[in-house]
Every structure is written in C-alpha cells, then in structure tokens.
Structure 1
Amino acid sequence: MPDHAPIIQMKNIEKHFGKVIALAGVSLEIFPGECHCLLGDNGAGKSTFIKTMSGVHKPTRGEIWFEGKPMQFEDPRDAIAAGIATVHQHLAMIPLMSVSRNFFMGNEPVRKVLGVPFFDHDFANRVTMEQMAKMGINLRGPDQAVGTLSGGERQTVAIARAVYFGAKVLILDEPTSALGVRQTANVLATIDKVRKDGIAVVFITHNVRHAMAVGDRFTVLNRGQTLGTAQRGQITPEELQDLMAGGQELVALESSLGGTV
C-alpha cells in the first residue's frame, strides 16, 4: 500500500437507474503515481463507475472524496476543473484536422494582431511536438492530420493533451481494446510514463495481460460489486481471470460438471 494519502476515495458508491442497480456499494481508493486497473466483463459496472467518478453520473448513495475533501461534481466540467480527465475508447477527435488543432481543441491559444485575436499556430505547434516527443511519439510535423496516425498514436495524443492541461487523475476507458500488438505496447509505455510523473492512472480493461503489464493494483467488478483489490505480486493472471469470469460461481460450475470449465 502506498505510504501517502489517496487522491480519490470512492466510498460505498451506489447508482440506481430506476429499479436497475448498476452499482451496489463499490469502494475504491486511487493513489498518486499508481496505475490502478479496474477489470470486469461486459456489464460488470465499469463504465457506470468511471462515469460517476468523472461527474457524468451523480451517485444515488455514497461519497466521493478528492484530495481529502468531499466532492459533488455537478457535471464533467467540474471533474475536469478539479483535475480528473477521461480518455474515452472512442476519441473525441476530428480526423481531418491537424494534431496541433486537436491537441488544443477547446483550449485554443490566441495571440493578438492589431487587437484582433488569432489562433497562435507557432505556440500550438511547438507545444504539440514537445509533448508528443515526451510520450515517445515523433510526428512528421504538427500539421499532420490526426486521421493519418495509428490508433495507438491517437490514444497518445489524447493522453498527452490531458496531462498537459493539468490532469491529476487520468481515466483510460479500454484504451487498448481495438489496437494491434505494437500499438498496444506503445499505449502501455505511455501509461507507464504518465504514472512515473506522479499522475494517478485508472486503467479500465477486460484484458488481464494488458493490466498485468502496467498495473500496480487491481480491482475486479462483477455485477456492480467489487470482488476485492489486490496489489501487484499478490495475485496471478489466472486468479484475476477467474475472478472476472465469475469467481466462486465458476468454481461451483466446475464442481457440478465434475471437471474444468
């Protein structure tokens, strides 16, 4: 367990949609400089949980503490302002626009010429190249269209953008799900760089191998409940996979069938 205080504490979070209980009392702590992997099969509650953490949903019950203080996010802008950034699986980027334009989309730097504000291309281009190089991506140029980048490189643009604009917690929603082996390795290397800079990373995935490659701690969700949190070295990939597949339910099924499922 880290020897410093958690940056985020989610305490007994419940989320109900009418009679449907999406989260049934989930608790989680996220520490600065760690990669905390949130695993679970489809329908486990991962998406609802991170949407609650990032201000998209308000919890029905439970508390969110950020930097030691109780927080109530009214919308995602509040979470972003606090320093919680989410990089979604389907990136909000415009393929035909340049990398630098996408990097600064919504946060455009301006300079004034004769009192008239213009997009500051020189500043945007310089910062984009510097930040992408820090993440290990060497662009042909800042005016390169985002659509010409690989999926892994586009993920890195989104991560670098979040870090540059002050993310203290970076939530990555299935960033490797649609990537090939080489692109996946690039994204995992980027996660490692971000973590080493002291930023907390919440890595949502259903791929145990990807989680074990960079994770410091692992929490498994199943049907809106947590099955526990383990530190690196305390759990094997096989044990994580079994928990995701149903845990004790899988053991019971194996026994009833008289063999291995």
Structure 2
Amino acid sequence: MRLYIGPDRFAMPAPQVDIFIPCFVDQLYPHTAMNMVKVLEKAGCQVHYNPAQTCCGQPAYNAGYKAESRDIAEKFLADFTPGTAETRYVVSPSASCVGMVRNAYSHLFAGTPEAARCQGVQRRTYELTEFLTDVLHVDAIPGACLAGTYTYHDSCSALRECGIREAPRRLLDGVAGLSRIEMAETTTCCGFGGTFAVKFEAISVAMAQQKVEHALATGADYIVSTDVSCLMHLEAYIRREKLAIKTMHIADVLASGW
C-alpha cells in the first residue's frame, strides 16, 4: 500500500484521486493536465485516469439543452463512481467544471433515481487548489520555483460558484522566487463566459481588454488563475495586441522548477 506523510506528520494511506480533465484542457492545454498530475503525486496522491471520460455537460447546459446535458452528466456520474468500496476524490484543474458538477447537477438530477449518486459524486469533487489546501492541508509544493511577479485573476466560477479565493493565493505565495501584486478589480469577469464570447464578441473583447489593462498596470510578469478558459481568452487578446505579459494556469506554476 502506498503511503504518504499527512499534515500531522504520520504515515497514512495515499489519497486516491480520479482526475477529470475538461474538454478544452485535453485539446488545447494537455501540459496543464500533466502538470496537475505531477503536483498531485508530489503531494502524495495516487492518481487515476479514466480514459472513457468526456465532458461535464456544461456547454449544453449553458446553451439551454437541459435534456442533452443530463445525458452527459449521467455519463460523468458513471465514469466517476468507483467500482470498489474505496473512496476516491475527483479533482479537476477547472473551477468552471467543478462548479457545474456541484451546482447544476443538483437541478439536473433533482427528484430522479440518480439524485443520491449525484450527491455522492458532488461531495467528492474538488478544484485542484481547494483540494490541496482544504483536503490535504498543503500550503506549498516543495521545490516549486518561478522567478518573477504575478497578479491573480479570480474566475467567476471559482469565486462565485465554488467559493475559492484564498487557496490559490496561499499556494502561489509558497512558490520560491514569485511575488504577488494584486490588480484592480480582480474579481471582475474577464469576458469569456463560454458561448458569451461568441454571441457577444465586442463586449467580451472589451472586458478582456479591461482585465489585461488592470494586469499590465501592476507591472506583473504573469496573470495566473485556476481556469484555463479565462486565461485562453485573455491570452488571445494579449497575443493580438503583442503585449508584454504572460498567462499561466496555477498547475503550471506549481509544477515549475522541479
């Protein structure tokens, strides 16, 4: 049996983690998924990956296709219900997907035979940073090192759907060589919002511009967040305007230097 040293300094069975990799991370940022695995293993977890996993159903749900999103959500429940009695956490590098599971699933499965299983999966599902700080009680990843300064973007899903604010900052402040400079209006939306960016392009781009300008005003080297979707949106604006600031997902930061 694999063991790890818990926060009380006693050896205990390694936490069992099923990772959920969102569609856009799988297709566009696979290195972020691999870095999450690297960080979880560094924290003492035994990581499992179910290759049958697909989507959490959020795009369909947000577009109003509730029946279709419930079909996808039912598959999610099946994919992340262990076939054994062992308890496995479900951890994702996306607060957006975690927020979907925690909140929208309650509406999708209310009054259905799947409600009990849904609640069980919801209780075990975490965004990466809150899992590290709230479940494993980890405040820093040993060896994490990145020279420079960062400013943090609170994604709407992390802050408003999952209540995540301090966990990522605590972990980032434990990265050697990295210092934080808070930007103005850090909790304001970046303008992505999934299909919002497609349906309301001009508004979406203007919101990205405002967010990036606030970040640039700090003089920081990096914009860091828990959500690749937000960073993808901001990075597109940064690249178009050829601006001197970079975006990094927190998993990539925590996996730097070792």
What TM-score do the two structures reach when normalised by structure 1? 0.29
Q: Which has the higher contact order (CA 8 A, sep 6+)?
A: 1
Identify the structure with the greater strand proportion. 1
TM-score, normalization: structure 2?
0.29
More helix by share: 2
